[in-house]
Homo-oligomer: A and B are copies of this chain.
Amino acid sequence: MSDPNIVQSFNRDDIKAMEQRQRANFINSLSGFKSANLVGTQSSQGLANLALFSSVFHLGADPALMGMIVRPHTVPRDTLENLMETGYFTINHVYKNIVAQAHQCSARYPAEVDEFQVVGLSPEYLDGFCAPFVAESQVKIGLRLEQVLPIALNQTQMVIGAIEHVILHGETLHEDGYVDIEKSGSVAISGLDGYHETQSIGRFAYAKVGQLPRKL
């Protein structure tokens, strides 16, 4: 760690005055570590699409829902159009052996390009489920579109999906339901373009009033 006595402060005006790309890097760093996922969809013509998202988040366990933010007029529009047309999409963890391929999926390929082919990843299909999974991924989730919620403040859209299928590679599932995604090799993202492996600090027991925190 660096010297914590060095302090830099920024207010709203400082942020507004930043150059656009600089501000994008800066603000994207502030939420903390982000999930790294490849989102697979298929067009109504049957063309596969794969896009990198760092905005997938947990929305609820019962019903089992996941959310992700889609920006306006950017690459993942193919993703949005496809999932609205077909009603299905997949979320596939980026793991350490496919980071370069995953990052390349963020390039602005035209709609008619199949990112799987271009970057060298393999589509995998489940019977009756019309969105491609990433074969190489160690944690794969198949979702049915539930809702696209427009966020008026900045013209982004929040996509909400219900979990229909989960495929786990490796012995990563604990008896209590926890999936050891570090053992899966899943990576985290910082900012727009930083990728990180993880090292477990530990799991903590359910926190209770009047008890000291303790590791499981």
Q: Does A77 contact B (CB under 8 A)?
A: no
Contacts of A168 in B (CB 8 A): 7-10
A206: which B residues are within 8 A, CB to CB?
Answer: 193
Q: Which residues of B contact A147 (CB under 8 A)?
A: 153
In this complex, the interface size class of chain A, counting residues with CB under 8 Å from chain B, is 35 or more
The distance in angstroms between the C-alpha atoms of A165 and B27, with both chains bound, is 11
Given contacts A8-B167, A63-B154, A64-B15, contact A56 B69 (CB under 8 A): no
A82 interface residue (CB < 8 Å to B): no
Within the complex, the shortest CB–CB distance from A95 to chain B, in Å, comes to 8
When the two chains form their complex, are residues B167 and A61 in contact, meaning their CB atoms are under 8 A apart? no
Point out the residues of chain B lying under 8 angstroms from A169, CB to CB: 4-7
**Interface presence of A203 (CB below 8 A):** yes
Cβ distance A111 to chain B, nearest Cβ, rounded Å: 13
Q: Interface on A for B, CB 8 Å cutoff?
A: 1-12, 15, 18-37, 54-67, 69, 71, 91, 93, 96, 99-101, 103-109, 138-139, 141, 146-147, 149, 151, 153-154, 156, 158, 160, 162-174, 176-188, 190-209, 211-213, 216
User: What are 23 A-B contacts defined by CB distance under 8 Å?
Assistant: A1-B183, A8-B168, A11-B165, A20-B62, A22-B176, A25-B179, A26-B177, A29-B177, A29-B181, A30-B66, A33-B188, A103-B213, A107-B211, A151-B160, A180-B190, A182-B194, A187-B201, A190-B198, A191-B203, A193-B204, A193-B206, A197-B201, A198-B198
| Given A10-B168, A193-B206, 19 further pairs, Cβ under 8 A | A1-B183, A2-B170, A9-B165, A12-B165, A23-B61, A30-B58, A31-B56, A33-B35, A33-B188, A57-B69, A100-B204, A104-B213, A105-B207, A107-B207, A158-B158, A178-B191, A195-B203, A196-B199, A197-B198
